[in-house]
Amino acid sequence: MEMGLVLAIVGGALAVFMAGCGSAIGIGLAGQAADGVMSEDPKKFGSLLILVALPGTQGIYGFLIGIMVMNRLGFFGAEGLAAITTQQGWQILGACLPIAVAGLVSGIHQGRVSAAGAGVVAKQPSDFFKAVIMSALVETYAVLGLLISILFLNGIKI
């Protein structure tokens, strides 16, 4: 396998792995807080489920970039894998880094904000939407990382 193809595959894998780790950690943090609230009031499950699910989107964004890389490399075509130069491989790897890093960091921090939101749901259930908005604000930077990764990937000529 040529070095360019290896670099491109590593880029796609990093996007999936790092953004997925951010989501897993974020969901874990929010889920722990939600479980504590539900131990006192199980009727709050619906509101808490939304807060716990929010950090999961970063993993989806990384997965989307991973699929885009695989598509660009010809993983799904009958023609076989594309011939990628080392320079193109570095470009693809670099294009994957915005969502990889933004997904990791924002997933963790969105989980922390969602965990705090579980406390809001416990004490002030009427402020649930405020807690969701606070958590969703952190999502903005994962979305920006996703968009720039998409733009970079679409700009690479193969």
Sketch out the chain's domains with CATH numbers.
3-155 (1.20.120.610)
- Region 58-77: mean pLDDT is 95
Q: For 83-110, how does the pLDDT look when each residue is reduced to its tens digit (9 = 90+)?
A: 899 999 999 999 999 999 999 999 999 9
For every residue of the chain, which 3-state class applies, written as one string? CCHHHHHHHHHHHHHHHHHHHHHHHHHHHHHHHHHHHHHHCHHHHHHHHHHHHHHHHHHHHHHHHHHHHHHHHCCCCCCCCCCCCHHHHHHHHHHHHHHHHHHHHHHHHHHHHHHHHHHHHHHCHHHHHHHHHHHHHHHHHHHHHHHHHHHHHHHCCC
- Region 131-142: mean pLDDT is 95
